[in-house]
Amino acid sequence: MTGPPAAATPPGQQLPGVRDMHHVAFDGRLVMLGLGSIGQGVLPLILAHIDMPRERITIVTADARGGAVAAALGIRILVQPLDRRNYRAVLAPLLGAGDFLLNLSVDVSSVALITLCRACGALYLDTCIEPWAGGYTDPALTPSQRSNYALRESALALAAGGNSGPTAVVGHGANPGLVSHFVKQALLEIAHDTGAKSDTPVSRAGWAELAQRLGVQAIHIAERDTQVGNVAKRRGEFVNTWSIDGFVGEGCQPAELGWGTHEGALPIDGRRHDFGCDAAIYLMRPGASVRVRSWTPLEGPFHGFLITHNESISIADYYTVRDGRDVRYRPTVHYAYNPCDDAVLSIHELAGRNWRLQPTQRLMMDEITGGMDELGVLLLGHSRGAYWYGSRLAIDEARRLVPYNNATSLQVTAAVLAGLVWAIENPGCGLVEADALDHARILDIMRPYLGDLVGVYSDWTPLLDRARLFAEDLDHARPFRFSNIRV
């Protein structure tokens, strides 16, 4: 599906509603892979905030959707699906030293693209670490092998033996991406409010020590999307406010979460990986079939889907404190996602179809009549109880700010823009995750597009009102101990 109809804007003319302020100049070519909802939504931001001629931008996409938007903005488009056999032949002539590959596609291997960019000296950014087509659901792979944990390890392996060369930012959309910067800002605000005075840490070890000193035990990426439309979901249709292929793909992966040192036992169907950093576990169930308790300020308590995401692993790993080979501290981290109501109905139907996608898909855009995306991080266990910090972006404000976006997509596209700017400003950093970027710089770039940025304390915990109707046994799982794996 395409986004809103393209306005008849002459190439070179600024679109209304977008602030025309260049954050950085870029002398290379920009190749954007994919033109779905995020690709269409990020184009106006790139044109407004990165100083470069439109003639140096090329979009490579698997199909013609979004072509009207590209045409209205004066951007060249090449319709060419990519696979293992042809991606080098298609992309290599378009990329050289100092150019940029922005990967907003699905079913194209991030590791393969980063390897190509390293070979030709190009910068790189994606919003998640993608496998080749089928990698999320291939029955020949074990659940561990098709996890986000495995995908992350495959990307990090590119930095083994020395992390140098052109900057490759992996996992920098809203989540993964923006939420890692929310975690840092939340930690600083909790430290200030609790009297645990702290300068802003300048290293990974410093941030992890701050989280440990504050007593943070768990971090939820807590999101509630309340956007509604005037077209009801139909039978046999999957409806969502952002990439349907992306959502269904990750929803069919095993549920995953970073596993904290305070946890005393594994869930009944919990499993550990036998390789890598050992910062996370997975469940023997699709993430879209697992619900967890969480909380946001406007929604209050809710049940969210335990959808696997890279940030659940990277944040847990980033905030690990080690004493030699021993793990001394690590928070539990997971995504708790309550999507728009039509997407909830779509997931219910998808599960009933044994996880085979409905024949019709619809990306909600023009038909949205109200609602917002409330996306943030909920830090639990510190002396103030719980603290949610994040973005409340309403659909009306999103439309006013940037065309071709809804509230959900703008939180992603603004993060893509910020990651692009940071990479251009820091071109020789090798492979980097969102957690390692300068959170203050990223938030400064994004702030005009995030609606209300708020922090709210609460006394809510996942145990509040448990066993109100029925007794629950919360101590039934197997004993668990962390292994001492050096990273």
Structure confidence at residue 486 as a pLDDT band (50, 70, 90): very low
pLDDT in tens, 419-475: 999 999 999 999 999 999 999 999 999 999 999 999 999 999 998 888 889 988 766
**With contact defined as beta carbons under 8 Å apart, do 277 and 318 qualify?**
no
pLDDT of amino acid 350: 98
Q: Residue 449, SS3?
A: helix
pLDDT in tens, 137-177: 999 999 999 999 999 999 999 998 788 899 999 999 999 99
pLDDT in tens, 201-255: 999 999 999 999 999 999 999 999 999 999 999 999 999 999 999 999 999 999 9
444: Cβ contacts below 8 Å, ≥ 6 apart: none
Please name each of the domains of the chain with its CATH number: 178-405+449-479 (3.30.360.30)
Give the torsion sign (CA, 207, 208, 213, 217): positive
Q: Residue 22, SS3?
A: coil
**With contact defined as beta carbons under 8 Å apart, do 334 and 315 qualify?**
no
pLDDT in tens, 203-214: 999 999 999 999
The pLDDT of residue 186 is above 50: yes
pLDDT of amino acid 393: 98
pLDDT of amino acid 16: 58
Q: pLDDT averaged over the chain? A: 93
What is the pLDDT averaged over residues 95-100? 98
pLDDT of amino acid 235: 98
State how far the Cα of 462 lies from the Cα of 484, in Å rounded to an integer: 29
State how far the Cα of 184 lies from the Cα of 203, in Å rounded to an integer: 12
pLDDT of amino acid 380: 98
| Eight-state DSSP code of residue 406 | -
**Segment (H or E) for 123:** strand 123-126
Phi-psi region of 215 (alpha: psi -120 to 50; beta: other; left: phi over 0): left
pLDDT of amino acid 402: 96
Structure confidence at residue 476 as a pLDDT band (50, 70, 90): low
Q: Residue 465, SS3?
A: coil
* Strand-pair category, 24-25 with 50-51: parallel
pLDDT of amino acid 472: 81
Q: What is the pTM of this model?
A: 0.94
The pLDDT of residue 6 is above 70: no
pLDDT of amino acid 484: 34
Q: Residue 45, SS3?
A: helix
pLDDT over 70 for what percent of the chain?
Answer: 93
pLDDT in tens, 387-419: 999 999 999 999 999 999 999 999 999 999 999
